[in-house]
Amino acid sequence: MTLLSFDAVDAFYGRAQVLRGVSLAIGKGERVGLLGRNGVGKTTVVNALQGIAQVGRGAVVMAGQPAPRIRHYSAARAGISVVPQGRRIIPALSVRENLLLGAAVARPGPWTLARVFELFPVLKERQHTPGTALSGGQQQMLAIGRALMANPDLLVLDEPSEGLAPVIVDELAEVFVRLADEGTSLLLIEQHISLIRRVVEKYHIMSKGMIVDSGPLAQLTTEKLKQLVAV
Ligand SMILES: Nc1ncnc2c1ncn2[C@@H]1O[C@H](COP(=O)(O)OP(=O)(O)OP(=O)(O)O)[C@@H](O)[C@H]1O
């Protein structure tokens, strides 16, 4: 079953076109990497499925349903949760309240506060602290926990390693692999080579708003990968 597909999508911010004919599909159980240098349009793929960038020509299909008008929450309702670049933790809310925000979509499934606390025990310890008082790594865990509270079939992760210490990136890689092994599909936008290597099975490379190469990650040498994601 295809959880998300882009079929020749053009996407815009106002009149500025960023995506040009982007096609990709993510099925159940897949671990897909969306790779490329800064500014090539990776986040705009995420923004297009959330209705933040406007889709012109082409179609975005979520959980088998074409999305003629994408509104906030359409993706979450269709089982697609986004962990945004920069985490976007709400400063006025506690850790617990930030997590509960993720459950607002009320999608049935296995994820509860208790299960998120089991995955990230530090969030339980600090549940009454303001979300933005956490360290960078803990805030990333909070953003992931919040996304899981919506019980997604597909988790979209936009540069989760950004600004984090290597030991924390290792911990996150383990979490992503565990989530994937338990059946959550992943779309990972990343520039961190070892994280990509550990998590991704199939890659798409973007350049200038287009997908210019795709295939199994095992076929990419680390040398090539470094060139492709070089900042
Ligand atoms: N809200 C916006 N309004 C107008 N242009 C934007 C907006 N957001 C991004 N852009 C432009 O769209 C292009 C693609 O940006 P995007 O953030 O999708 O790239 P990216 O590959 O995710 O890069 P990065 O790794 O730096 O996040 C850039 O030229 C950027 O300046």
| Residue closest to 32 by CA, chosen among 214, 219, 230 | 214
Q: How far is the CA of 190 from the centre of ligand 1 (A)?
A: 15
- Gap from CA of 187 to ligand 1 centroid (Å): 18
N- to C-terminal Cα separation, the chain = 34
User: Is the C-beta atom of 41 inside 6 A of ligand 1?
Assistant: yes
* Domain range list for the chain: 2-224
Q: Which atom of ligand 1 is nearest to the CA of 206?
A: 21
CATH of domain 2-224: 3.40.50.300
CB atoms within 10 A of CB 68: 8
The pLDDT value given to residue 228: 79
Please tell me the distance between residue 231's alpha carbon and the centre of ligand 1 in angstroms.
Answer: 14
Look at residue 224 in the predicted model and tell me its pLDDT.
Answer: 85
Q: Identify which of 18, 37, 52, 156 to mutate to test ligand 1's pocket (most ligand atoms within 8 A of the CB).
A: 18
The residue nearest atom 31 of ligand 1, judged by CA position, is 39
Phi/psi at 194 (5° precision): -70, -30
Please tell me the predicted confidence (pLDDT) of residue 231: 57
pLDDT tens sequence for the chain (231 residues): 899 999 999 999 999 999 999 999 999 999 999 999 999 999 999 999 998 999 999 999 998 887 767 677 789 899 999 999 988 999 889 999 999 999 988 889 899 999 999 999 999 999 999 999 999 999 999 999 999 999 999 999 999 999 888 999 999 999 999 999 999 999 999 999 989 999 999 999 999 999 999 999 999 888 888 887 775
CA gyration radius, the chain: 17
Cβ 44 under 6 angstroms from ligand 1: yes
The vertex-194 CA angle with 181 and 154, nearest 5°, equals 35
Ligand 1 binding pocket mutation candidate from 10, 13, 204 (most atoms within 8 A of CB): 13
| Cα–Cα nearest to 168, from 126, 120, 132, 201 | 120
Q: Please give the model's pTM, rounded to 2 decimal places.
A: 0.94
Indicate which residue's Cα is closest to atom 5 of ligand 1.
13
The CA distance from 59 to 48, in Å, is 10
**Centroid of ligand 1 to alpha carbon of 182 (angstroms):** 32
